[in-house]
């Protein structure tokens, strides 16, 4: 398994945890605009964090 793939999987795991944390935070907020922004941010992490992990992990391993 390549370092990029491992980094992407770690990024995906962090995105899942972050998604649930942001959903929990959104359930405690009163303003609908803030809830929407927190939900969109949580969903965008599913794309951003694996991509970042894919490119950053080889830098740490030297591949």
Q: pLDDT at position 10, please?
A: 97
DSSP assigned state of 62: T
Residue 5 has pLDDT above 90, yes or no: yes
What's the whole-number average pLDDT of the chain?
94
Percent of the chain clearing pLDDT 90 (strictly above): 94
Our count of domains for the chain comes to 1
Compute the distance between CA of residue 29 and CA of residue 25 in angstroms, rounded to an integer.
7
Residue 42: give the domain boundaries: 3-61
Side-chain-facing half-sphere of 56: CA atoms under 13 Å: 11
What's the CA gap between 8 and 25, in Å, rounded?
25
User: Distance between CA 44 and CA 30 in Å, rounded?
Assistant: 22
> Residue 61: its pLDDT value, please?
87
Higher pLDDT: 48 or 63? It is 48
Residue 2 tokens, joined: 């390549």
């Amino acid at each position: 398994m390549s370092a990029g793939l491992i980094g992407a999987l770690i990024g995906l795991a962090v995105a899942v945890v972050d998604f649930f944390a942001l959903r929990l935070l959104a359930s405690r907020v009163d303003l609908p605009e803030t809830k929407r922004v927190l939900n969109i941010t949580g969903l965008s992490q599913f794309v951003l964090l694996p991509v970042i992990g894919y490119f950053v992990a080889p830098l740490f391993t030297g591949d």
